[in-house]
Structure 1
């Protein structure tokens, strides 16, 4: 696939929108709130073909489905299959809700006729007795006093009856973007029913010409006789003026009259029919809606506002940017966010408090990472991960569910997932030393270059399938907004979908952090994420985000706590590595966490003010679990946890994050807002590690080997170093420095040790450990010769001439984490340019996996989706891009040795030489045959410095020198 680029305009894309099943429609509206329960129905028959013989025969089983929704439940008819029963129940539910499950084939004229018919039915006596939200409204308005008695606001009809909305969309497609364009359509249809209805065009209301019979009204329960909760309901007042803050509001539902009259009074609107009611906002079961004035002419424009939101200024009449962003369409004038009204749940008036906290949580939910934070109920600790490893290790809502929820929040079409099944025969040929490995793969049946891969051994194995997935996101008008490329491949279709979803979410999250970026910057961001984005349509759909970004702080805080959602701004972050309050409590117990570990912590986040002595708990959890290395928590939290073992705790301070996150987390917004106005607040984090579950690969190895395989690899390398009397060593892919740490602890001839890695987190951790050990070197180890230790940040597939010609190079369990062609490139760079006298490379032996994965420990971690299947051996780690058999490893190493005039010997650890299936970790030891190495003629050898010095220790002054990034939590 071609590299993703961004076009400056949206092409006219023809979209064949698939017809959604009833169950899919229910999921769109209610998500996980919809609960399906299947009951088996046994029917017995005495008819056996022989009259007079009452022999009971058992008939085939039938299935009945119970569908429980937040507002009501339905029961399907018996069906032959479980899935048919579920679809039947879902169809019954959407029919009851008035949702059109099929793509409308009505012409405009037919829809207009149906609209008149629907209005006629709504105002019939038959409809009045039905269980429908509108029937309760009709009952309520009959109790109104004066000339407005019996008049129903048209906005109520549109908000409460989905069938009216569907018919209006068939007449005018623009209703999809602006539901209030339905008002003139409904008024026009009502005007045709002169014998049944009376319309007041100026007041936007309709009533029956002949009132309902009093007996019919009295037979219904009084709508104001019951309120589901306390009559004094909390709501949120959102003024259009940015000089005024969003505030809490109490609405008394026991006041005389129709409840919309009470809301109209709060909005300073003369009559309730001039109050517009939005669609529901927030979670699926929510009844939260925005109420605002139809007296504002712009709210009822027959055409959509032509200019983009980012062209609006703060002085533009009564444009309400905060309410507009929340609703996803332009709102003018003041607005009230409230959860009150008549529902399918019953005839009584439903009411539920909407607090300031609820308001800010709704704002957070419009952010991609906000949806993930809310799913984890952790706004100040959790962060949207950058990597999906396995479903078993993932915590919180899955990426696909988050992406679908994001699209619904922003009134976009459901994302379209394009999954392609690939065969192993499509593997690309590798380059250089790996040119023949693809042929080898086909012959041996081993798959590679597939994340989370499953593979089989044996030439006659069945064809291996892998999956790749692309994602397309469309607007409600079916204009293509963005498209992600199919890049990575996975052995499970579900993993491909989740990873593709996460890539789109990561791109959107980066944009939402900087919504004021230019089209050129958006182009660069899309190219980096392999996302093709049609910028005109994209900017149009998210234009309100740009404007809100400037005004989202309360007025008295504006200019104070800047947007810094994840505490990542290096200039503002308090360094937890040099902070005087940084101190670890408790004795070390067990191993430190590493990438792939599952860590369980308890934590509290407390708001602290420097100017006034206050401490307010914002968020706490007795147990919070996450995977290390995927970005599931904000970076400073992971950096701190990496220093702790089970039972240890730490307390440190961070600058204030985005104010909305703080207000969404706290239970007392007004109190916290008063503290934040001091502009001298910060957050105190207290963390205790409860337990550390090591990565599955490590646990499998530890269960079968003593000492653990990782320690055996280090001991193998140490023996080689002593044998060669090396004075200098370079560790390619040093990670958190386990080998370098062992070298410091072990007397040897080494005088200079160097580590290289791409992970800044791992290097910072290594620097801390090495600095501590080396500073104490003279006191505890007088025989050590180490004079210089350096850590570089960079890729081992790039050459840095400063590190050429070392005595020993090591690369232990690193190459399998690279793409196969990159691993082969490393071989060329290492032997052709770095040219150490000795190079030690270890990598997993794929043939040994069958033994490792027989253990019960491995089976306990199986994905539930795989338990019913007979699966071939997995790779040992989800991050392994390939794993080689002994023959493949031999082929790679021998080719390199011949090319660069090295000899190579093969060995390993975790097994017995000559006994099948060989060593668990296979090791190649390359030795240079002559003093002057054979340089790679294809590479330039002039001075090159690609690596950044992150940390340096020199024995001449016994002081560790840190680079600029070593003390930042970014």
Structure 2
């Protein structure tokens, strides 16, 4: 067996010439997402990058920036070799000639430069094409060639086909070393390489090698299909691709930029429309009907005719050809990665379970790629500049932040401007929440073609972006994400346990998804442990609904409609098996999910660790006491959420006959309806109470908007709700409820900010909280979704002003802690009492709320 030859790369050549006199100095560079954009005040660290300075006796050179230290050193060595070989020139045209001279030199042939691999492979071409290197490859694999061509003729940035004439013209100035063939758009070295140079890089053994690729037809009614390409070491793989595309040789083939990761060798190969005989050419030179919209969208370049998606190429680190199989799964994952929710799904490796949440929670509860990173990835995938973030402190408090984000076109024209009104305690939370708001808008816009482009927080400038791009994104979104679940029938197996999840809990499940056609089935996704926050809409609705009904150890089974064929191929199943099932008839998706464990929200854990009974139960008991004392029969819970208070009240005997819950979350109300219906229809735990309740109503609407159906209630509750609004919205709620709803009694509770230090010492802190721990900083809020938390003085000023203005009395109390002992109660409570008769006008039919659930006792 022949001994393995040492790779003669640029660094090795420099060592042969200079030995210990060559000094490499590596500089670590931190990449930031600002990208030098003007007006950017917030930056975010990216991965570490490296730059190398090579010091030689007579001069020094500095490399480009790379992800690996080795690549930076090789780049510096290559630049040094260029400087040793090339005479100093300034004119870009002269520099291009000099660069071509170096590329066809003995030194370059023996390097591990990606383009040198094509020079060596070209010597295996047959007949008259032997030694000819296609010009189309040169700007793709050599950045210096590309940059020089752009300097000479800037329009080649948008018209890459025009680099051929520039390179051919430069080669004409090297008649003794380079021969150019206009017929084949290729270049060849005039004199043969010396035997010692050829021997240093000769292939030790010849092997037959085949790689799988994907054909993307330009006709949209044709589906993508797989093919096999011969990339054996004694052939030139570019000629094999040319044959598959129906042209004579590799000189007719163009390459797209890398698709996917920055260092990816996954590219689209397609015919040069100028050099190929393509039909249907219009008078203006455009190819009518031959634009390959799928391929063009995938790489961000105009591609005509059929294209081949393959992962093949030469790398810096080896003489051997690098190659990987490309399947339909690869193709559809690349498409999915261009959609915001698709980027999130892929980051979680949960295509059929995950869904981009509508809101950003704490970093400890968020799973998958962070919103800001998703937005940056979306911009990069569509070849747009990095998003520009600005943040500022609010006028009310120097400790609260608002963040804006802007997206620009390639020409620096503003496309999208997101300026949320919400403020956050942490600057990073403000940035993440502005990102998720913009991502949610993008999903809605591209999924709903007729959706209005603007809303209160987002301004869209469609004239500043290509209509073709908008159309392609919309088509891709509809193709990949056409179905997101809905109401489903499910069954739950296993014995119930005492541990059940509630909204805000972090749950961990194991699940499996099958593609089902009759009796046949194929596993297309499986996850042994998958975490998400219940109620955050981080998974498809069906999965969240089923998980919310289980206890730890139980399993749930449900079936949904089939997602698009394209999304199905993204899964992990056997592609041939999946294709067979899809082709044989109507398919569905079958899910099996097991609840493994439940972690309560930090706020609940802190309260339970310090209080027994818990604060939430103490608040219920406080409400029950006032219901009994007032003999209230009509109760309204403002901001009822998933109905935890209403559900708990049913466990106690009271005078209540009519209960109403109001909230803006339809999904939370749906969960409340299921819980209340189960209790009220089957009989409550307390028989006396179950016989009294005559009606229950759940309404979807904002508690800052009046609805006559909840006018004049005996008692209204708003427990731990107002802190989830902005301070202005909390004040608006106070004015509306006391001036329009006129409850006889209103109970409002909210966290006492002064009690937070005690609560936060009651439980072990997460890593994120430990990092943020700083004695000079104020205490954190109890929940990531709290927009504010008031001290006792702030709360009492708010309540006193409302009571005085609307002719109510108010008294202050609380639960958790001891009255009169600092720092007061953990939950502070204000009880408003109406001091005048109920005004007339309560019968008006102002009913903006939507009915979600309406229950009446069978006795009624």
Check whether TM > 0.5. yes
Equivalent residue runs for 1:700-849 within 5 Å = 700-777=606-683, 781-782=687-688, 784-849=691-756
Please give the per-residue CA displacement for 1:555-606, whole angstroms capped at 9, x wherever unaligned.
xxxxxxxx52423xxxxx4x23xx2x433533132242213x2111111111
Contact (CA 8 Å) 1:801, 1:834: kept in 2 or not? yes
| Residue 55 (structure 1) aligns with | none
The question of 1:533 aligning with 2:504 is answered no
Does 2:376 match 1:404? Answer: yes
Report the Cα offset of residue 283 of structure 1: 2.4
- Name 2:235's counterpart in structure 1: 257
CA distance in 2, matches of 1:890, 1:304: 76
Inter-partner Cα distance in structure 1 for 2:804 and 2:545:
43
C-alpha contact (below 8 Å) 2:211/2:228 kept by paired residues: yes
- For this pair of structures, how many residues does the alignment match? 805
Q: Indicate which of 497, 507, 526 corresponds to 1:588.
A: 497
State the distance in 1 between where 2:725 and 2:553 align.
Answer: 35
Equivalent runs, 1:82-93 vs 2, <5 Å: none
Asked if the contact 1:589–1:647 (Cα under 8 Å) also holds between the matched residues in 2, the reply is: no
Bigger Cα displacement from structure 2, 701-710 vs 624-633: 624-633
Query: Which residue does the alignment assign to 1:269?
Result: 247
Q: Distance in 2 between matches of 1:746 and 1:874?
A: 35
Shift of 1:271: 1.1
Deviations 1:458-511 (CA, angstroms, capped at 9, x unpaired): xxxxxx344333223233343333232264333333223322222232222223
**Once the 2 structures are TM-superposed, how far is the Cα of residue 539 of structure 1 from its aligned partner?**
2.7
1:564 matched residue in structure 2: 482
Higher relative contact order (CA 8 A, sep 6+): 1
1:649-707 Cα deviation digits (max 9, x unpaired): 21111111232221111332222122223452111111111111111111111110001
Structure 1 residue 767: Cα displacement = 0.9
Give, in angstroms, the shift of residue 908 of structure 1: 0.7
Q: CA deviation at 1:213?
A: 2.1
Q: Which residue of 1 aligns with 2:41?
A: none
For 1:185 and 1:490, locate their aligned partners in 2 and report how far apart those are by CA, in whole Å: 55
Q: How far apart, in 1, do the equivalents of 2:719 and 2:636 lie?
A: 12
Q: In the alignment, what sits opposite 1:334?
A: 306
- Structure 1 gap segments, 5+ residues each: 1-20, 39-65, 76-88, 100-107, 428-446, 448-463, 554-562, 568-572, 959-970
The 2-side partners of 1:894 and 1:304 are apart by 77
- 2:367 corresponds in structure 1 to 395
CA distance in 2, matches of 1:260, 1:171: 28
Q: Provide closer, same or farther for how the CA distance between residues 113 and 790 of structure 1 changes in structure 2, counting only shifts above 3 A.
A: same
Matches within 5 A, 1:445-524: 447=397, 464-485=398-419, 487-514=421-448, 516-517=449-450, 521=451, 524=452
Q: Does 1:153 align with 2:153?
A: no
1:371 equivalent to 2:371? Answer: no
- The alpha carbon displacement at 1:543 in A equals 4.0
Taking structure 1 as the reference length, the TM-score comes to: 0.78
The Cα offsets for residues 264-306 of structure 1, whole Å up to 9 and x where unpaired, read as 11112101111112221122342111111125658999x9999
Q: How many angstroms apart in 1 are the aligned matches of 2:47 and 2:610?
A: 45
Distance 1:548 1:399, change over 3 A: closer
1:164 to 133, 139, 145: 145
Displacement of 1:144: 2.5
Q: Distance in 2 between matches of 1:300 and 1:32?
A: 47
Equivalent residue number for residue 345 of structure 1: 317
For residues 492 and 98 of structure 1, the distance between their equivalents in structure 2, rounded to whole angstroms, comes to 45
**What are the residue-to-residue correspondences of 1:356-367 with 2, within 5 Å?**
356-367=328-339
Identify if the C-alpha distance between structure 1 residues 491 and 888 changes in structure 2 by more than 3 Å, giving closer, same or farther.
closer
Superposition pairs for residues 632-671 of structure 1, below 5 Å?
A: 632-671=538-577
Q: Secondary structure at the match of 1:874?
A: coil
CA distance in 2 between counterparts of 1:719 and 1:36 reads: 64
| Residues 845 and 919 in structure 1, CA contact (< 8 A), matched pair in contact too | yes
Counterpart of 2:510 (choices 602, 624, 629) is 602
In structure 2, the residue matched to 1:952 is 854
Label 1:346 to 1:499 Cα distance change in 2 as closer, same or farther (>3 A).
Answer: same
Question: CA 1:845–1:154 in 2, change beyond 3 Å: closer, same or farther?
Answer: same
Residue 188 of structure 2: SS of its match in structure 1? strand
Once the two structures are TM-superposed, the CA of residue 942 in structure 1 deviates from its matched residue by 4.2
Aligned residue for 1:912, secondary structure, equals coil
1:231 aligns with 2:209: yes
Counterpart pick for 1:897 among 803, 808, 815: 803
Going from structure 1 to structure 2, the CA distance change for 1:708 and 1:94 (only over 3 Å counts) comes to farther
Q: 1:32 to 1:719 in 2, by over 3 A?
A: closer
8 A Cα contact 2:364 2:766, kept in partner: no
Q: CA deviation at 1:919?
A: 0.5
- Over residues 363-417 of structure 1, what are the superposed CA-to-partner deviations in whole Å (9 max), with x where a residue is unaligned? 1111111111111111001111221122222211122222222222112222222
Measured against aligned partners, the alpha-carbon deviations of 1:695-721 in whole angstroms (never above 9, x if no partner) come to 111111111000100000000100110
Match of 1:439 in 2: none
**Secondary structure at 2:802's aligned position in 1?**
helix
Identify if the C-alpha distance between structure 1 residues 867 and 232 changes in structure 2 by more than 3 Å, giving closer, same or farther. Answer: farther
Corresponding position of 2:113: 132
Change (3 A) 1:932 1:470: closer
8 Å CA contact retained: 1:150, 1:211 = no
Per the TM alignment, residue 142 of structure 1 is displaced from its structure 2 partner at its CA by 2.0
Q: Does structure 1 retain, via aligned residues, the 8 Å contact 2:33–2:386?
A: no
Whole-angstrom CA distance in 1 between matches of 2:32 and 2:97:
26
CA shift for structure 1 position 774: 1.0
SS of structure 2 residue aligned to 1:542: helix
- SS at 1:583's partner residue? strand
Matched residue of 2:737: which SS? Answer: helix
Relative to structure 1, the CA distance from residue 511 to residue 260 in structure 2 (aligned partners, 3 Å threshold; closer, same or farther) is same
Structure 1 residue aligned with 2:70: 74
Q: Indicate how the Cα distance of structure 1 residues 779 and 213 shifts in structure 2: closer, same or farther if over 3 A, else same.
A: closer
TM-score (norm 2): 0.87
Conservation of the 8 A alpha-carbon contact between 2:34 and 2:388 = no
The answer as to whether partners of 1:235 and 1:338 remain within 8 angstroms in 2 is yes
Q: Which residue of 2 aligns with 1:203?
A: 184
The answer to whether the 8 A contact 1:115-1:167 is kept is: yes
The alignment partner of 2:579 has SS state of: helix
- Structure 2, unpaired ranges of 5+: 1-27, 36-43, 52-62, 81-88
CA–CA separation in structure 1 for the residues paired with 2:551 and 2:655? 32
Question: By how many angstroms is 1:856 displaced?
Answer: 3.8
Q: Verify the 8 A CA contact 1:901 1:933 in the aligned structure 2.
A: no
Question: Are the structure 2 counterparts of residues 34 and 838 from structure 1 closer, same or farther at C-alpha, using a change threshold of 3 Å?
Answer: closer
Answer whether contact 2:818 2:825 (CA < 8 A) is retained: yes
The 8 Å contact of residues 593 and 692 in structure 1, kept in 2 or not, is answered as no
> Would you say 1:625 and 2:534 are equivalent positions?
no
For residues 283-341 of structure 1, the C-alpha deviation after alignment (integer angstroms, 9 at most, x for no partner) is 2342111111125658999x999999xxx9xxx44322221121211111221111112
Matched position secondary structure for 2:699: strand
Q: Is the 8 A contact 2:708 2:846 kept in 1?
A: yes
